[in-house]
Amino acid sequence: MFSRAIIVLALTAMLVLALGTGSFACVGARPLAMGGAFVGLADDTNATYWNPAGLIQLDSTSFTGMYTTTNRDEINYQHYVGLAMPLMMGKAAAGVSWVRSNMAMGLTETDEQDWYWASLAYQLSPQTSIGVNVKSIENSLEDYETETGVDVALFHRVNEKLTAGLLIQDFNEPELSLSGTPVAVWTRNYRPGFAFRPDALSVVSVELYDAMDDTDSRSLRVGYEKMMSEKLAVRAGYYGLGQDEADAITVGLGIKDFGGASFEYPMTLDIAAMFGDVETILTSLNVKF
């Protein structure tokens, strides 16, 4: 009994460090290329993760799939699939998503987690919408179990050029348990963001990760996107990791009509690369129906 208590305490300490500090984890090649600053923009299917309230901006059903091309042995998101659609004549929107995540559990074990969640957005006014995610996390390691998590979000259009968003991740602070004994908590994470469009072809986005500094991982993220033509977008950003002052530079491309004229539905291929304290490449394919 005493030895089991020691093991649980040790795991708790290590998991608090793993869950309570910033680490590289990004959903979607476009958000990564923009420095992970997407909460205030949230204008495509990736919003199911970044800001479900932003789904209200969708004008058609859309699908996206992401693959982490490199750096697959690190703590990060390996795959992401999302489907979202407008509802109620644009007054609401809904989505479903899945993420495969690698999470360090102590010094030697890695938990391959599957996250499943449903997203819902509702328009309070022409300028403001609210959103929620309800997510289930399945742990691959035996005897580990995670409570259902809830994210809440807000999206507001200040004017034609400026939008603002707020994502409160893990609002209910779900517990991770080992054989029924709580060993860690997913700490609530406040993430405000803004997006500014100086002209019709470009956007600048800013986000503050862990704004309340509840896990000592507060960090700034900045992104930029410019449409070079109807089919090509270029992106760049600064991704603050909030972990030992680690940071990285991000770059990427978006190529529209990737499927060619013969494909019935519009497709976009997004590619993003991160260089710095963490290096990785993400690719995403997006389809509108």
| Tokens coding 247 | 């940071």
Report how far Cα 238 is from the mean position of its chain's Cα atoms: 16
Decide if 142 contacts 134 (C-beta within 8 A). no
Give me the pLDDT at residue 106, please.
54
Report, as an integer, the average pLDDT of 94-122.
83
Task: Count the alpha carbons within 13 Å of 241 in the hemisphere toward its beta carbon.
Answer: 19
The sign of the torsion formed by the CA atoms of 163, 218, 24, 112 equals negative
d(CA 277, CA 122): 39
| Tokens coding 88 | 């109620």
Q: How far is CA 226 from CA 32, 167, 232, in A?
A: 15, 25, 9
The one-letter amino acid code at 37 reads A
Decide if 135 contacts 146 (C-beta within 8 A). no
pLDDT higher than 60, residue 3: no
State the CATH number of the domain containing residue 204: 2.40.160.60
Residues whose CB falls within 8 Å of the CB of residue 242, separated by 6 or more in sequence, listed in order = 21, 22, 209, 210, 216, 217, 218, 219
> What is the span of the domain harbouring residue 255?
2-288
Instruction: Categorise residue 267: left if φ over 0, alpha if ψ from -120 to 50, beta otherwise.
Output: beta
| Tokens coding 227 | 């449409």
Q: Buried (b) or exposed (e) across 270-285, using 16+ Cβ within 10 A?
A: bbbbbeeebebbbebb
Q: How far is CA 213 from CA 21, 69, 123, 220, in A?
A: 10, 31, 30, 12
d(CA 59, CA 157): 16
d(CA 249, CA 6): 41
Q: 157-207, pLDDT tens digit by residue?
A: 999 999 999 999 999 999 989 888 888 899 999 999 999 999 999 999 999
CB atoms within 10 A of CB 5: 10
Decide if 77 contacts 26 (C-beta within 8 A). yes
Q: Are strands 267-276 and 247-256 parallel, antiparallel or unpaired?
A: antiparallel
Give me the pLDDT at residue 259, please.
61
pLDDT higher than 60, residue 286: yes
Domain count, the chain: 1
Which among 167, 181, 173 is positioned nearest to 147, based on CA atoms? 173
Q: 5-45, pLDDT tens digit by residue?
A: 433 333 333 333 344 444 567 899 999 999 999 999 999 99
**pTM reported for the whole predicted model:** 0.88
Give me the pLDDT at residue 129, please.
98
pLDDT bin (cut points 50, 70, 90) of residue 74 is low
pLDDT bin (cut points 50, 70, 90) of residue 260 is low
Give me the pLDDT at residue 71, please.
64
Residue 16 vs residue 146, higher pLDDT: 146
Vertex 250 angle, CA 247 and 252, to 5°: 170
> Would you call 262 exposed, middle or buried from its count of C-beta atoms within 10 A (0-12, 13-18, 19+)?
exposed
Give me the pLDDT at residue 9, please.
35
4 phi/psi in degrees, rounded to 5: -65, -40
β-pair partners for 199: 202
